[in-house]
Structure 1
Amino acid sequence: MGTVANQGSAPLTAAEIAALALSLAHLGAGPQSVTARRGLRHVFEHLDIDDEVVATTLATLTTPLDADVAGRARVIANAITTRRVVRLGYVDAAGRPTVRDVEPVTCLVHREHWYLVGWCRLRRAIRAFRFDRILTVEPTDIPARPHLARRFLPFQRRKAA
């Protein structure tokens, strides 16, 4: 997702939307999250959104996560802030379970799913992990290397060279 422009103001970048998404994710469904989501919906009401992907993504962004997923999002958010590796119990699309040490970079929403984007030490590559497939997340004391989120955001529209 590139940028979302609001008339008369600077556009939101994909990284800014990702940061907002993560902030809302770990608020769960409490009173603060209701107010925050209402405010975000108000911002998006004034946008000219003619892209189905963006519209679906924004709907997902403003829908509360269930308590278990929100709890995992809090652990992930803390790991991003403290630059620590997390250990994920993860099930891939084919149903194969793995345990992965991941250097978290950011979280984002794309269409109807939330993702953790991070450097997977098992695969030695950047990966996007769907929140609904993360079974467990454990913080570690292992330092993570700094990564620039803007270099690792999948789903962005790439500008033509």
Structure 2
Amino acid sequence: MGFYAEDTLSGLTIGQAIYEVALMIAVLRWVLCLIFRVMNDRRRTESDETPAAEACCQKEYNNTLVLTTFGEIKERLPQTEETCAVCLSQLSVEDEVRELMNCYHVFHRECIERWLEHEHENHIPTCPLCRAPLLSSCCHHSSTTCVPPPQPSWAVERLLYLFGDDLLPC
């Protein structure tokens, strides 16, 4: 019986040691996660845009995203697509829409704003349909001055792709 008591006692000691080691590993992991989170938050706040750059971006958003009704766009451009590519619903004449001035695609106001919120968190905001960038590079680099955007190369490439054969000699 004495031998059985020793096995039980040593079993409790080993079990307690395993428990304490697991607890220490869990606490160490929690502390490391907390440290990394604080460092990441600090890095993120240091790289945030200045108020002047935010104003530049807001001004450029307002210039790039024209708020109107679908009826006005349909009068001006009758061949405009009648489906919102974000929600896949039909656009009606009285719907408030935003027209993207760099690619002229049209979306419901709520749809494009939700899309841009999601895109702005992840990377450079783009058109949901053709992925053309909506803002110039000045708003992506936290600069305090807003320089007018140069002619986007994607537009030139698209025109060459569509009409390049017309430029070839007969």
Quickly name the TM-score band, shorter chain normalised: under 0.3
TM value normalised by structure 2: 0.26
Using CA pairs below 8 Å that are at least 6 residues apart, which structure has the higher relative contact order? 1
Q: For the pair shown, which has the larger CA radius of gyration, 1 or 2?
A: 2
**Larger helix proportion, structure 1 or 2?**
2
**Larger strand proportion, structure 1 or 2?**
1
TM value normalised by structure 1: 0.27
